[in-house]
Amino acid sequence: MKTNDVILQTVTTVTVFIILTFAAYLFFAGHHDPGGGFIGGLMIASALILLYLAFDIELIHKGLPFDYKLLMGVGMALSLLTGIGAIVLQHPFLSHTFEYVDFPFFGEIELATSVLFELGVTLAVVGATLTIILSISEDV
Amino acid sequence: MSWLHIFILLPFLFAVIIPVLYKKFPKIHTGWFVLAAPAGIFAYLLSYIPMVAGGETTMYSLPWIPSLDIHFSLYVDGLGLIFALLITGIGSLVVFYSIYYLSKVREALHNFYVYLMMFMGAMLGLVLSDNLIVLYLFWELTSISSFLLIAYWYARRQSRYGAQKSMLITVFGGFAMLAAIIMFYIMGNTFSIRELLSQADQLVQHDLFIATMILLLLGAFTKSAQFPFHIWLPDAMEAPTPVSAYLHSATMVKAGIYLVARFTPIFGGTMEWFWIVTAVGLITLFWGSLLAVKQRDLKALLAFSTISQLGLIMSLLGMGSAALYYGGGETSQLHSAAILAAVFHLVNHSTFKGSLFMVVGIVDHETGTRDLRKLGGLMSIMPITFTIAIIGSLSMAGLPPFNGFLSKELFFTGTLNAASLDIFNMETYGALIPIVAWVASVFTFVYSLILVFKTFLGKFQPERLEKEAHEAPWGMLLPPLVLSVLVIGIFFVPNVLADYALEPMMASILPPLEGQFDIYIEAWHGFVPELFMTIGIVVIGLLLYLTLKKWLWLYNNMPRAMTITNAYNSGLKRMESGSRKITDLHMTGFVRDYLRYIFVLLIMIVGASLFLLDGFSFEVSNVAPINLYEMILAAVLVGAAAMVVLTRSRLTAVIGVGVLGYIVALFFVVLRAPDLALTQLAIETVSVALYLLCFYHLPRLRQRDEGDGLNVMNLVIALAVGTLVTLIALSANGHRMFPAISDFYEGGYELAGASNMVNAILADFRAFDTLLEIFVLAIAGLGVYSLIKLRLARRASDENQ
Amino acid sequence: MEILMSVLVGILFTAGTYLVLAKSLLRIVLGTAILGHGALLLLLTMAGLKTGAPPLLGMEGITNYVDPLPQALILTAIVINFGTMGFFLVLAYRSYKELGTDDMEELRGTNNE
């Protein structure tokens, strides 16, 4: 089935970047405002899906040569590592809450770990979503 | 963590690295590496001998699940230590023997040694652990490793049958024992054997005492192949011979003996214990020796002989328990002779039976058959093997100068003492005990002669053997030789063994008598009844052996249908067909039916429990107000749901679900959950794309409308589920028993440095949930990927065509 | 509001259950999705819909927030829902392609092992 997707393609090239920017905003906003790893990841995933819908897979694959299964693994590993990092620093697994009360200056550091954790979540969500969608579309 | 813990876990460590060694060094027989484990542990355990011989014990505890009173605690006393030494000592010999028995080219050695090490570790843990739950774990692990070892040549049907049989019977007993353990906990409020022993007086008074005793004995009897559970042991002989020598004669089957001995301080001295253990032991002794005579397979003969000897030890433990009735003094000492006989024979049996099994293994290995009808005249071809065999079997028959003679004499002493008892109704039936024991011993004598003479004397029939017979390599001869030396050595210096091993064991079995034992074992003690009994056995036994052909046909008259194995087989078959009938009744093969069961059960269980526990409650005072937006959203939601249900078009249904999802997102907006709304919107977009991808590309097989008409039963179930959920939601609102814990999270800024509470919970307070959640997502993604890409089913079907 | 939500949840569960018991695979998949939505709303409703500000501490002068914990649980549930739905959908799709039917009456397990 050959269709002419000029309008879709033109709009997509513009909107994808808007969506990606928005996704990045949501990702970082998550700490204090609505947003966060999941939503950021899903937004990125939907932007990429839009790209795949508008253009064909081979073309996109040249620009974005990711193996999404690997991305998924990287994300999981990153999240897990932040948890293990807490153990190495002799805190309970994935947890650093109580330290805040005692050491207010540690705040900055722990903020960073939670962003790393969220980054892992984002990567895993993007990886999983695109693995699912691409597997199906390649099968047809 | 003590050194003992490490040594007990060492075999498990070996089990892990054996496959690596097997792969890395294919040239070297894996057994050489394995040998280090039992030999090392044996050497280490020897260092405990002086301590235990001095009458002391040690305890090492390692908390495991302290809240449930489960500790990996090890207790070293005479009983446990001697068992552990037997396990590792015989284990070393068996591993050594197996190096020559099992070919490194043909056999899956890594499997064999992994199972063997698993078994050894489990057995060590069993005899040394003080905690009953830990003991139970090791107990079942021995059953499992025995199962794996019997099924080692799993391509044979008989192996699988034997493995299954032993598993079913021993695990059945194991479950009974678990129940006994739990009852112990109810009675004594502890899992520790030490502590239970210390409160033995109170336990006797308890209502559960007899039930616990019977359940515990079920475990012991199934494991030690006591009548009528002995039927698994002959079939277990399908295992490779080193395994039979090790598990099914020297160690695992003695676990039941160990258990009975271990709990004698609690149960001993009661009439029920005395009678059950003695009677079952004697019946097993008699039945085993009777059936051993008719066996034509050497290993089967040894299996029945093992059953019979286990019965002998068991009955001795029963008779000796009478010593605890008197609680000390001279009468007690008299009856403690039976316990001495039990532990002495236990050690002796391991030596001579182990060597006999190895001999049979040699015969099998070098001639290719174990059938007595084909064997004969091997004496001149295998002189060393013959010597070992004659030592072992004459010891088994109870003749001097072998250790079996000493323990057999002590056995008769024990039975005569028991017959003279005037408690437990012994006046009436007591005289039966020595008679049964004597008759069984006559048969023991006969089958011992059959074993050695039918194999090694008589006419050599090379044409009926599968291989050209010759003497075994020295590696296979060495382990049984070591055991034979022990058989003779113990006869001449029995009191060394008694001082260092038997007395500490007796101290564990009869704690009140500790320090009072006056053990002196001697071969000659005048013209006493025991001697005449032995002489009678030899005379009658020889007569019976010489006239064997004249009376062996009697066995053929035993109806096959009456045997216990037959009952087991038909019982198993009937259970299988019965459960299949029950299964077929409700397992229709339709997923829809199963879903209906699930929903109906959900309604019944949840609804009934809520109703019976008075869980339904309706409270309308604290509800939040409704505004117009919410009314509109609700109306659209209902409309979308109805559209999905009622439509006959695929596309409409998919769109309906999409609408539904977006409305849910809007509800999240109204209910002040901005994160949820955002996530739901994004997810819904991706989901709709997914639906459309799947179903847009699907070729329509036929133009059929999607709806399948109104199904009243489904509608009723669905309505009931919906009503139930509504009621639950309302009741949840009516029951506000506790204040919400979410106030805690309102301190999120201080605790996690984040002012978005939802994200603070996700990334920080409950980050473990989130971590596992992305794992689930990743697993789903990989599942999709493999479903699409691998197409295993299709490839397989292509190959078949 | 809780009563309205409870009834809504009940309706969603009814629709979902009815669809799950249907013959066609697609309807079962869609029914599962509706059950999922119902469960999300049920969680939210059971936690109590006390009115208050969104659970964002950054806003000034607000002391009364809605409960953040169920929201966090639901967020997790949404994403897992998506993952399992994707898997289920593909399972349905694959079995449709492999077996040539999506009719549950024809998809019947047999006793052959």
How far from chain centre, in Å, is Cα B514?
33
Domains: count for chain B: 2
In this complex, which chains have at least 3 CB pairs below 8 Å with chain B? A, C
Domain count along chain A = 1
Shared-domain flag, residues B489 and B620: no
- Amino acid code (one letter) for C98: E
In a domain, A35, yes or no: yes
Residue A72 falls within a domain, yes or no?
Answer: yes
- Please list every residue in chain C whose beta carbon sits closer than 8 Å to the beta carbon of residue B630: 1, 4
Q: Which of B672, B694, B722 sits opposite C54 (nearest CB)?
A: B672
Chain B interface, mutation test: which of A134, A135, A138, A140, most B Cβ atoms within 10 Å? Answer: A135
- Amino acid B703: pLDDT: 42
Chain A, nearest residue to C84 by Cα: A132
| Chains near C (3 or more Cβ pairs under 8 Å) | A, B
* pLDDT value at residue B747: 65
pLDDT bucket at A131, cuts 50 / 70 / 90: confident
Whether B737 contacts chain C with CB within 8 A: no
Quick: pLDDT tens for A21-31. Answer: 888 888 877 76
Q: How confident is the model at residue C110 (pLDDT cuts 50, 70, 90)?
A: low
- The pLDDT of residue B493: 87
All residues at 6 or more sequence positions from B666 whose CB lies less than 8 Å from its CB, including other chains: B633, B677
B269 and B224 within one domain: yes
**Beta bridge pairs of residue C46:** none
- Give which of C29, C57, C71, C82 to mutate to test A binding, by max A Cβ within 10 Å: C82
Minimum CA–CA partner of A105 in chain B: B753
Backbone phi and psi for residue C51, each to the nearest 5 degrees, phi listed first:
-75, 145
Give the list of residues 6+ apart from residue B608 with CB closer than 8 angstroms, or none.
none
Chain-chain contact of A100 with B774 (C-beta, under 8 angstroms): no
Chain C residues in contact with A121 (beta carbon < 8 A): none
Which domain does A114 fall in, by range?
6-139
- Evaluate if residue C57 carries a pLDDT over 70: no
In terms of domains, do B492 and B599 share one?
no
Residue B10, judged by CB atoms within 10 A of its CB (0-12, 13-18, 19+), counts as buried
Same domain, yes or no: B371 and B517: yes
State whether B547 and B608 are in the same domain.
no
What pLDDT shows up at residue A115?
77
CATH of the domain at B645: 1.20.120.1200
Total residue count of chain A as it appears in this document? 140
> CA Rg, chain A, in Å?
18
How many interchain CB pairs under 8 A, A with B? 150
* Among the listed residues B328, B166, B312, B181, the one whose alpha carbon sits nearest the alpha carbon of residue B259: B181
B45 in any annotated domain: no
* Closest Cβ opposite residue B778 in set A49, A76, A110: A76
What is the pLDDT, as a whole number, of residue A133?
Answer: 84
Residues of chain B short of pLDDT 50, as ranges, are 701-707
Pair B237, B274 in one domain: yes
Q: Which of A92-106, B486-500, C18-32 has the lowest mean pLDDT?
A: A92-106
Chain A 76-95, residues with CB within 8 Å of chain B CB atoms: 76, 79-80, 83, 93-95
B and C: number of Cβ contacts within 8 A? 273
Residues of A in contact with C58 (CB under 8 A): 32-33
Neighboring chain B residues of A33 at a CB cutoff of 8 Å: 755-756
Residue C105 C-alpha, separation from nearest chain A C-alpha, in angstroms: 26
Contact C68 B758 (CB under 8 A): yes
Flag whether residue C100 sits within 8 Å of chain A, measured between CB atoms.
Answer: no
> Could you tell me if residue B579 is inside a domain?
no
Cβ contact B241:B360 at 8 Å: yes
For residue B57, being part of any structural domain is answered with: no
Minimal CA separation from A90 to chain B, in Å: 16
Tell which of B696, B759, B789 to mutate to test the A interface (max A CBs under 10 Å). Answer: B759
Residues of A in contact with B751 (CB under 8 A): 97-98, 100-101
Residues 16-55 of chain C whose Cβ lies under 8 A from any Cβ of chain B: 16-24, 26-27, 30, 33-34, 37-38, 40-42, 44-55
What's the complex ipTM? 0.91
Chain A residue numbers with beta carbons less than 8 Å from the beta carbon of C87 are 132
Do both B604 and B560 map to the same domain?
A: no
Residue B377, SS3 per DSSP: coil
Separation of alpha carbons C68 and C107, rounded Å: 44
CB contacts of A124 in chain B (<8 Å) are 774, 777-778
Instruction: Determine the pLDDT at residue A107.
Output: 44
Distance CA B666, CA B688 (A): 17
Model confidence pTM above 0.80: no
Residue A16's contacts (CB-CB under 8 Å, 6 or more residues apart) are: A47, A48, A50, A51
Q: Is residue A128 assigned to a domain?
A: yes
Separation CA B673–CA B742 (nearest Å) = 15
Q: What kind and span of H or E run contains B63?
A: strand B63-65
Band (A96; pLDDT cuts 50, 70, 90): very low
Alpha carbons A27 and A45: distance in angstroms, whole number: 13
Tell me, yes or no, whether B576 lies in a domain.
Answer: no
**Does residue B131 belong to any structural domain of this protein?**
no
Q: Check the CA dihedral B484-B488-B489-B494 and report its sign.
A: positive
Whether chain A has a CB inside 8 Å of the CB on C59: the answer is no
Per-residue model confidence (pLDDT) at position B200: 84
| Residue A1 belongs to a domain | no
B267: in domain: yes
| Residue A65 within a domain | yes
Instruction: Tell me whether residues A33 and C56 touch, CB distance under 8 A.
Output: yes
Range B719-724, long-range pairs (CB < 8 A, 24+ positions) = B719/C14, B720/B599, B720/B603, B721/B599, B721/B602, B721/B603, B721/C13, B721/C14, B721/C17, B722/C10, B722/C11, B722/C12, B722/C13, B722/C14, B722/C15, B722/C17, B723/C10, B723/C14, B724/B602, B724/B603, B724/B606, B724/B607
Distance of alpha carbon B776 from alpha carbon A124, whole angstroms? 10
Residue B627 tokens, joined? 């505004």
Lowest mean pLDDT among A90-99, B258-267, B286-295, C28-37: A90-99
Task: Give the Å distances, CA to CA, from B656 to B379, B466, B646, B688, B691.
Answer: 90, 77, 10, 10, 12
Pairing of strands B63-65, B70-71: antiparallel
**pLDDT for residue C93 is more than 70:** yes
- Whether B84 contacts B127, CB under 8 Å: yes
Task: Tell whether B768 is within 8 A of chain A (Cβ).
Answer: yes
Q: Does B553 share its domain with B682?
A: no
The structure tokens 């609408």 sit at B659
Cα–Cα distance, B797 to B3 (Å, whole number)? 56
- Higher-scoring residue by pLDDT: C52, B201: B201
Mutation target to probe the A interface, by most A beta carbons within 10 A, among C79, C87, C95 is: C79
Q: What φ, ψ does residue B738 adopt, rounded to 5°?
A: -125, 150
pLDDT of res. B630: 84
* Residues of chain A positioned with their CB less than 8 A from the CB of C56: 32-34
* Pair B664, B610 in one domain: yes
Query: Virtual CA dihedral for B247, B249, B250, B255, nearest 10 degrees?
Result: 70
Q: Are B52 and B76 in contact (CB under 8 A)?
A: yes
Distance from CA of B9 to the nearest CA of A (A): 27
* Residue B456 sits in the same domain as residue B524: yes
Using an 8 Å CB-CB cutoff, list chain B residues near A125. Answer: 774, 777
Query: Taking CA atoms, what residue in B is nearest to A46?
Result: B686
B700 sits in the region (left: phi over 0; alpha: psi -120 to 50; else beta) called beta
- Ordered alpha helix ranges (H), B255-382: 255-267, 271-294, 298-320, 323-326, 329-367
H-type alpha helices, B762-801:
767-789, 792-800
Find all residues with CB under 8 Å of B707, minimum gap 6, and list them. Answer: B646, B647, B648
Residues B558 and B595 in one domain: no
How high is the pLDDT of residue B787?
84
**Residue of chain C nearest A33, judged by CA positions:** C56
| Contact with chain C for residue B623, Cβ under 8 A | yes
Is B137 within a domain? no
C95 contacts chain B (CB < 8 A): no
CB contact under 8 A, A46 and B690: no
Spatial contact of B745 and B757, defined as CB atoms under 8 Å apart: yes
Q: Residue B542's domain spans which residues? A: 157-567
Q: Quick one: B280 and B373 in the same domain?
A: yes
Residue C65 three-state SS: strand
Q: Is residue B76 part of a domain?
A: no
